[in-house]
Amino acid sequence: MTSKQKKMLYRIITAFVLFVVLMVLERTGVLEQLPSQWLVFLIYLVPYLVIGYDIVYKAVRNISHGQVFDENFLMMVATFGAFGVKEYSEAVAVMLFYQVGELFQNYAVGKSRQSISDMMNICPEYANIEEDGVLTQVDPDDVEVGTIIVVKPGERIPLDGIVTEGTSMIDTAALTGESVPRRATVGDEIISGCVNGSSTIKVKVTKAFEDSTVARILELVENASSKKAKVENFITRFAKYYTPVVTIGAVILAILPPLILGGGWADWIQRACIFLVISCPCALVISVPLGFFGGIGASSKIGILVKGSNYLEAVAEMTTIVFDKTGTLTKGEFKVSEVQPSADKNNTIGKEELLEIAAYGEGYSNHPIANSIREAYGKTLSMERVTDTEEIAGHGIHTFIDGREVYLGNAKLMDAQNIAYTENKTAGTVVYVACNNVFAGSIVISDTVKEGSKDAIRDMKQVGVKKTVMLTGDRQAAADAVAAELGIDEVHAELLPADKVGQVEKLLGAQNEKERLAFVGDGINDAPVLTRADIGIAMGSMGSDAAIEAADIVLMDDDIRKIASLVKIARKTLGIVKQNIVFALAVKALVLLLGALGMANMWEAVFADVGVSVIAILNSMRTLNTK
């Protein structure tokens, strides 16, 4: 408990003890023997002020600021009315149990926030910089890119960087939800917010603190509560009109029946006070946001950052999910999977020579495909053998190797040079090779499917996703092969970034109003599509800054299998929120009717307010424990 909550607990205990004493005195007839009713009023006023002075103060302050209709106003008017009809014990009881409910609500909200705060307590306090053999602690915000920092065992990694010295096990649980530490050695990238486990390492900083992973995560969490779901917005609008309406209803209930029916003012005023206590909207105003907050917290525990409850609500309604291929469903690690020399009987170039020609031809390129060919060749290149290299945009490369004219590229390049070639239909990216205008063979470079991608697609369908779609700039054959392996329903290949937006637009147009579409991507060219989709999901570990910024949801460890878990959390959260709304409105409507008819007393009114609030809040807290 916070100091403020402890202070409230002491007030509740004091007021409760005084209330019990007064109830005993009332039941034994001692209070009836007092010479004045005003003296009885003043005696009951003591526990009332002990427990309720802050409610009265808030109500008066809000009225002076033009904010008349809120729960403080309702409680003040209701208890003043009870005092007015000489129901002193009920006035004190209502305020006492209202404050008990408020304390419980504050404690519940605090616990849910604390659970997220503890989990997201990843902001490093310092960074170690070695100067003349001595470690100096500095503010991470003051460390420049390129600086070498030292991270000792047990310390939180303060900035994103690359390990330059040492090997250690890194605990990533706070960011990814994974309990198994990851091994980091020289050359590996590590992200801020994780904890260094086993040994000291040195890290070269690659991002300033404001651009680091930990800073972005904290910003996302802080801003999440500002983006409300439709249900939350409905409750906010509902409370805005609901409270004035019930207040006017209470006034009418107190005045019209006695005027029309004659007499009975005290009875109808008491009914109006009961009506006001019942009508307090705390159960809805607190439990609905708390439910969504719990859902966001449960998502964070498994390494998924949701930027607002509106996105969590959208995930619960998701029926279509669209994936970028490279880096999302596949590793984005291109490797030579096939070297196929020409079958022409006049061809004298074998597999090794074909791969050698391709490696030299791609010797000056930094394209991932060129890197994979050079890696497959595996020997040191003597680039003096290569002359007059020319890159032909969208087609390939024209160069001379040992005096031989060489073309390397796609089928368009072969067609443009009128070189007869044998089409290679193997799934993957195909590089055709021609020497002296004669087709020499082809090399296939394939991207490997990520572990768990197939399971992810299966799990998504099991939780109710109707359609899975893959978009890629790769060849149709390669795209079809990946889609068939993973069980994806629809494929669109050979797309430019602008084409991907167009395809998403078509898919959105085919949906009805209650369906939602999500796009999952990682690259900078995915940012426009992430923004256009109903729900943009980005890779947080390997994804580009632009993609993470544009996305609504971030997978911190790039594991798309967790999307199915997110759908479960979102649907459970929405279900709990709807349960609270129906339960609170149903109970309040019933007791309001009974109160207006004189069939509900003040104790039942307290249950309809405080009791319903407590039950709804306990129900909301279940979202934090979603498995």
* Active-site residue set: 324
- Identity (one letter) of the amino acid at 149? I
Distance between CA atoms of residues 558 and 573, nearest Å: 23
User: Under a CB-based contact definition with an 8 Å cutoff, are residues 608 and 277 in contact?
Assistant: yes
Using a 10 angstrom Cβ sphere, with 0-12 exposed, 13-18 middle and 19 or more buried, the burial of residue 498 is exposed
DSSP bridge pairs for 321: 468, 518
* C-beta pairs of 115-119 under 8 Å, 24+ apart in sequence: 115/297, 115/624, 116/221, 116/293, 116/296, 116/297, 116/300, 119/174, 119/297, 119/300, 119/301
Backbone φ/ψ region at 311: left (φ over 0), alpha (ψ -120 to 50), beta = alpha
**Tokens coding 275:** 């009506």
Q: What share of the chain is helix, strand, coil (3-state, %, to 5)?
A: 55, 20, 25
Distance between CA atoms of residues 219 and 217, nearest Å: 5
In this structure, what is the dihedral angle of CA atoms 312, 302, 460, 553, given to the nearest 10 degrees? 40
**Tokens coding 254:** 């107190």
**Tokens coding 248:** 């006017």
**Tokens coding 289:** 């946001």
Backbone φ/ψ region at 434: left (φ over 0), alpha (ψ -120 to 50), beta = beta
Q: Which phi and psi angles does 316 have, rounded to 5°?
A: -65, -25
